[in-house]
Each structure stands twice: as structure tokens, then as C-alpha cells.
Structure 1
Amino acid sequence: MSSADDLLSLLEKADKDEQGLPPVEQWKPQRHADIDMRIARDGTWFYEGSPIERERMVALFSTILLREGEDFFLITPVEKLRIQVDDAPFVAGEVQQVDGKLVFTTNVGSHVVASAEHPIRVATDPETGEPSPYITVRKNLEALIGRSAFYQLIDWGREEGGRLLVESGGERFELGALEE
């Protein structure tokens, strides 16, 4: 398979990733509880203070993740368990340009294409001025865009009216203001 074929398969995987998810928004379980599970800012999942080493288990948990307001839950048809998330539940560590689209790969192996439905946003720490870039993965769940992926976006960006913008599939996203 050529590298062009590999890149096109990323687009196909991004479409399939979201289609294969369970309908967590439709589930209304009777049992609710809090559990000692936390997702760190770097995307590491912890259970009772210990990192979850099995990548397949983390990937499975990520498919039943739900956000309501500021709270995050693992949800099944029979139970809804509140967990802690330090920042965003996912980290987008890689980005590639494929047919004029930005395709991100997350720490759980899912793919998402930046679009109106999956926007990129950059929050800036008011005290330090440090940017924290995110992409919406699904519904109101975001991935923190990793440093190297963000630098790649900056490299691909173009200046317009004092702002740095990137484009994906005809949608434009602001990465920040350019200093004069």
C-alpha cells in the first residue's frame, strides 16, 4: 500500500470511528456512583491511583465516556459512574494533512477530522499566556492537541489580519494572534 493509500485510509477510519460508538446518550441507567478513576492531562487513565496499563481496556472505556456539564461518566445501560478528568479526556498526539483535511490521531487510536462538527479551539491561560489547543472528538468531548501536533498546525498556518489560521475541508480555525 502506498503512503497516499495509507493517508486516505485514515480518512475512512475517522468516519468509521464515530459510527461504531455505543449510543451512550440514549442510556438511562438506574445505578449511579462515583469511582476512583482519573484521566490525567497527558491522557493516562488511572484506577485507584494506579495507571491502567492495558491499552485495549482504556480504548474500550473511552467508547462509553459521556460528559454532562463539567462532569464525566463511564456509562452502560445499567450504571453511570462519575470519573475525574484533569483537562480533556483525550490527547491528539498526531496530525496529518489528507486531501485538504486535518486528520488527528488520539491516544486511544481513534481518528478525527477537523471540521465544523469537530472544531479546533485554542484556550489561552490568562496568567501565563500559554495556549492550550483542543479538537472536539465527539459531542462535547475534546482532545488536548499535543505540543508536536500543535507546532505542526502552526507550521501549516497562514497569517490573515494579524491572526494565524489553519484550514481543514473548507473550515478555518484560529490558532491565535500574531505578535507585532
Structure 2
Amino acid sequence: MDLNRFQQQLKGTSDAARPLPPVDKWDPPFCGDINLTIALDGRWFYEGSPIGRISLVRLFASVLKREGDNYYLVTPVEKVGIKVEDTPFLITEWHKKDDTLVLVTQTGDEIPLTSSAQLELRTPPPAISDDKATPIPYICVRRNLWARLHQNTYYQLLSHANEAHTQQAEGGDITRFTIRSGQQEFVIGEVAD
């Protein structure tokens, strides 16, 4: 698979003024894997070298598709497999718009946090997990594609979080850290006391 040919197939499919391509409706034949990796830190690598052009990364991110545990870049005519070390997106910024928390990925996607289905606490991979394997927030960006909060972003949100202590039915206490977005409370962390 030639990455340049793949890029040519995508010309005109995505830019800032257009909606995302309808990759869920595309079902092209699988053409094999390419040596493209999305690393734990959110950087995209091709043939072991970082892809430095953010416009190219954004283009490829717009045609990213997940099927089961596998990730693909798709065009209307072909589908190629890529490797994702944890999640394809990393939340690197956040801001408030009115009373809604808006999370921003390394590719510029903005995700207003409005539904409990958008956030899950998951244990990150061992390479970035603490000794206790503490779950951290993962955010659904779109189409079953998730993002992990960058450590700095997570700590910033924790500094704005409310803290509540709860006694568990099976014994022991737990401390939950919550943030408010819109009319909902979201749990962004919990630790056993």
C-alpha cells in the first residue's frame, strides 16, 4: 500500500468546512496492513518516522474506522489496517462553552461532554499506568473511536473536580472525583480510601 496513493484517493473528502466523510457507509475491500502506528502519546508514525504535517494527520484521522479491536484507514475503494497502541486520539486541551465542558484532541476535534455514554473509566496500558492500575477517563470522540486524557489535561480537570467520599456496600470507602458539564455530573476518577 502506497501512502501517497491513499492520500490522493482522499483529496477533497475532508476539510474544516465539510462534515466528516461517511466511513461507516463505506465497505471497500481490505488491501492489507500498512506500517502506520498511532503511538501512546498520540503521535502518528509512518514507516517508523513521525508524520509532521498536522493537516495530513487530520485527513487520515477523518477516515479512521474501528471494527472490533482493529483499526483501518478507509476510502470508498480500499481499506488498510493500521496499529493503534491504545487509542487513536488524545485529549490535550479543554475549555468551557457556557456550562458545557468541551474536550479537544491532538487533531483538533472538539467533543462537548453532554452524555454519560461518552465517558468511561478504563485502566490504561501498563506502559503509562500507575502501580495500582488506577482507571482514568476515556472519551468517545466519534464512531466508536476513543480518546484518552493526556496526563496534564487530566490533572487540570482533577483540580476543578468535586470530591465525594462514599461507603461501599461490601465495606471500605471510595473517593470519587466529579466534574459538571451541562446538567450532568461525570465521574473522572475514583480511589479506594
Question: In the alignment, is residue 151 of structure 1 matched against residue 155 of structure 2?
Answer: yes
User: What's 2:50 paired with?
Assistant: 51
User: What's 2:26 paired with?
Assistant: 27
Q: 2:182 aligns with which of 152, 160, 169?
A: 169
How far 1:121 moved relative to its partner?
2.2
How far 1:101 moved relative to its partner?
0.9
Asked if 1 retains the 8 angstrom alpha-carbon contact of 2:122 and 2:136, the reply is yes
Asked if 1 retains the 8 angstrom alpha-carbon contact of 2:136 and 2:188, the reply is no
Instruction: Tell me: CA distance 1:37–1:104, structure 2 relative to 1, closer, same or farther (3 Å).
Output: same
For the residue of structure 1 that corresponds to 2:138, the secondary structure is strand
Question: Relative contact order, CA 8 A, sep 6+: which one is greater?
Answer: 1
User: What's 1:140 paired with?
Assistant: 144
Equivalent-residue separation in structure 2 for 1:166 and 1:85 (angstroms): 29
1:92-107 alignment runs, 5 A limit: 92-107=91-106
For the residue of structure 1 that corresponds to 2:152, the secondary structure is helix
Asked if 1 retains the 8 angstrom alpha-carbon contact of 2:137 and 2:189, the reply is no
How far 1:126 moved relative to its partner?
8.6
For the residue of structure 2 that corresponds to 1:91, the secondary structure is strand
Q: Which of 1 and 2 has greater Rg?
A: 2
What RMSD over aligned residues (CA atoms) do the two structures have, in Å? Answer: 2.0
How far 1:118 moved relative to its partner?
6.1
Q: Which amino acid aligns with 1:140?
A: N
For the residue of structure 1 that corresponds to 2:32, the secondary structure is strand
Equivalent-residue separation in structure 2 for 1:113 and 1:104 (angstroms): 6
How far 1:49 moved relative to its partner?
0.9
Instruction: Tell me: CA distance 1:127–1:151, structure 2 relative to 1, closer, same or farther (3 Å).
Output: closer
1:111-122 alignment runs, 5 A limit: 111-116=110-115, 119-122=118-121
Q: Percent identity?
A: 39
Structure 2 unaligned residues grouped into runs of 5+: 1-15, 124-128, 167-174
Q: Which amino acid aligns with 1:25?
A: D
Q: Per-residue displacement from partner, 1:96-142 (whole Å, max 9, x unpaired)?
A: 12211111111111111112176222223595334433111002101
